[in-house]
């Protein structure tokens, strides 16, 4: 009986000590798009316009928001696959689509809003030191 109790106690202790390591392995590392991106769009009726993308990426799923001098919004849908970011922003009146290629730590691509089209590029802000 005593030997059995010791065996059970050792097993429980091993599982308890290994649990933090297992939990660390299950955490998904944020994707390369996670962060704040300072961007500029070109070709619109207002000329070049700065905008900010705040993104969270987990594998192919991207969430976040966009803000510019004309307003801000949550991203309706967004994905990142084969180094291509696709973003759709929809409201009752408008829809915007951005596609961009991730290369050398930067994003660049095209945007569309109805018949309007243009290009854009962005650079990720340096992470703040904690």
Average pLDDT in the 115-120 region?
A: 96
Sorted by sequence, the CB contacts under 8 Å of residue 94 that are 6+ apart come out as 113, 114
Q: Is the pTM of this model over 0.95?
A: no
> What is the model's pLDDT at position 8?
58
Pick the CATH number of 35-124 from 2.60.120.10, 3.50.50.60, 2.40.128.120, 3.30.70.360: 2.40.128.120
| Each residue's pLDDT tens digit, 68-96 | 998 999 999 999 999 999 999 998 888 99
pLDDT at 19 over 80: no
Separation of alpha carbons 111 and 117, rounded Å: 6
């Amino acid at each position: 009986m005593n030997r059995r109790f010791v065996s059970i106690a050792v097993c429980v202790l091993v599982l308890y000590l290994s649990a933090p390591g297992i939990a660390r392995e299950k955490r998904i590392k944020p994707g390369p798009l996670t962060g704040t991106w300072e961007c500029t769009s070109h070709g619109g009726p207002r000329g070049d316009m700065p905008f900010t993308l705040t993104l969270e990426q987990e594998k192919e799923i991207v969430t976040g928001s966009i803000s510019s001098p004309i307003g801000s919004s949550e991203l309706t849908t967004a994905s990142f696959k084969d180094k291509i970011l696709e973003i759709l922003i929809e409201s009752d009146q408008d829809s915007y689509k951005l596609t961009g290629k991730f290369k050398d730590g930067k994003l660049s691509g095209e945007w569309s809003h109805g018949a309007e089209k243009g290009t854009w590029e962005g650079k990720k802000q340096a992470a703040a030191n904690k």
